[in-house]
A and B are shown apart, each in its own frame.
Chain A
Amino acid sequence: DADVTQTPRNRITKTGKRIMLECSQTKGHDRMYWYRQDPGLGLQLIYYSFDVKDINKGEISDGYSVSRQAQAKFSLSLESAIPNQTALYFCATSDKGQGYTGELFFGEGSRLTVL
């Protein structure tokens, strides 16, 4: 089983709908991140959390919200989806020590299409 699990892996929805992407990890890491990937734009950081009570905005947080329900769970919500939020979304984790070394462990990605 994957150490970092994202659900759903694929989702098609309509403009205006609320969508939640979920991420759970079994690595025991404190730090969790949500990134978005668009062709030609690399990975853009949406939100990150260094522990359960810590939530921080990233480069492109507008239109998104997050919830850190437990050390192992970090969810990303789109309150009212719009077509330009169509993208591949990655959850990632890092340990405090690895947070200093930079190694992120990624989930398999969630492909979201907003019609």
Chain B
Amino acid sequence: QKEVEQNSGPLSVPEGAIASLNCTYSDRVSQSFFWYRQYSGKSPELIMSIYSNGDKEDGRFTAQLNKASQYVSLLIRDSQPSDSATYLCAVKNGGKLIFGQGTELSVKP
């Protein structure tokens, strides 16, 4: 079992809809969780971090963490075609980041 698991997708949503991206992790002691966005042919960039159970909102993005279920999610409200990218979930382990497989999101106009 991979340490960090994501559905690889692709996930397709219409413009204006909510996109929901999910991630599970195996190490119960993990404390820090991150979402990176990677456009095709580009490097990953950090878009959200979350450390406590519950929700964290930043603009159209909401990260959700449930440590009991070892589950992290990213919601993108009012999805735009410019949100089309691969979203990578990452978990901090001993000072380094372990990434999931990534979920490809396509937002259709």
Q: Using a CB–CB distance below 8 Å, which chain A residues touch chain B?
A: 31, 33, 35, 40-45, 48, 50, 56, 58-59, 90, 99-104, 106-109
Report the interface size class on chain B.
Answer: 20 to 34
In the complex, the answer to whether A102 meets B49 with C-beta atoms within 8 Å is: yes
The residue on A at minimum CB distance from B45 is A106
Among B32, B98, B100, the most chain A Cβ lie within 10 Å of the Cβ of: B98
In the complex, the answer to whether A104 meets B102 with C-beta atoms within 8 Å is: no
Contact string, B27-50, partner A, CB cutoff 8 A, digits 1/0? 000001010100000111110010
Alpha-carbon distance A58/B4, docked complex (angstroms): 14
B99 close to A (CB within 8 Å): yes
In the complex, the answer to whether B43 meets A43 with C-beta atoms within 8 Å is: no
Looking at the complex, which one of B44, B49, B100 makes contact with A106 (CB distance below 8 Å)?
Answer: B44
In the complex, the answer to whether B101 meets A42 with C-beta atoms within 8 Å is: yes
B60 close to A (CB within 8 Å): no
In the complex, the answer to whether A43 meets B44 with C-beta atoms within 8 Å is: yes
